[in-house]
Amino acid sequence: MFLKGPDQPQYHPQPITTAHINLNNDLNTIVQKFSEHYHDAWASRKLENGVTYGENRSEVHKTHPRLKPYNMLNEYEKERYKEPVRESLKALLSIGKKKKINKKYKL
């Protein structure tokens, strides 16, 4: 359901179609490496701000349960990093294919 009102027009998301894009092993390796990098970059920022590992996330105590090495995250937590990386890469590839087709046929 979308909110609609005088100052809130109805929103119709139109993501890039990526269903036709399949990532090969090399690209899946890139997804994995970038996901690890993204987690490490996030963790570095947290540590720089004085946040430490804790069983529970707490703004007051400055603790976070994901503040640990990537390989110690559970599969759900790892997938939360991989899914947006994978979808972004697929969208970039889709855009590239579309540009190549447009250029070839002068569209």
- What are the tens digits of pLDDT across the range 27-43? 999 999 999 999 999 99
Q: Given pLDDT bands bounded at 50, 70 and 90, which one contains residue 62?
A: very high
Confidence at residue 51, expressed as pLDDT on a 0 to 100 scale: 97
Confidence at residue 107, expressed as pLDDT on a 0 to 100 scale: 44
What's the pLDDT tens digit per position in 85-103? 999 999 999 998 766 655 6
Tell me how far apart the alpha carbons of residues 68 and 49 are, in angstroms, rounded to a whole number. 15
Q: Is the pLDDT reported for residue 9 higher than 80?
A: no
How far is the CA of 18 from the CAs of 28, 65, 98, 103, in angstroms? 15, 33, 11, 20
Q: Is the pLDDT reported for residue 70 higher than 80?
A: yes
Q: Do the Cβ atoms of 90 and 36 come closer than 8 Å?
A: no
Look over the chain and give the mean of its residue pLDDT values, rounded to a whole number: 89
Name the region of 50 (left: φ>0; alpha: ψ -120 to 50; beta: rest). Answer: left
**Extended beta strands in 4-93, E state:** 52-53, 63-64
Mean pLDDT across the stretch 58-83? Answer: 97
Q: Is the pLDDT reported for residue 83 higher than 50?
A: yes
Confidence at residue 103, expressed as pLDDT on a 0 to 100 scale: 63
pTM, to two decimals:
0.77
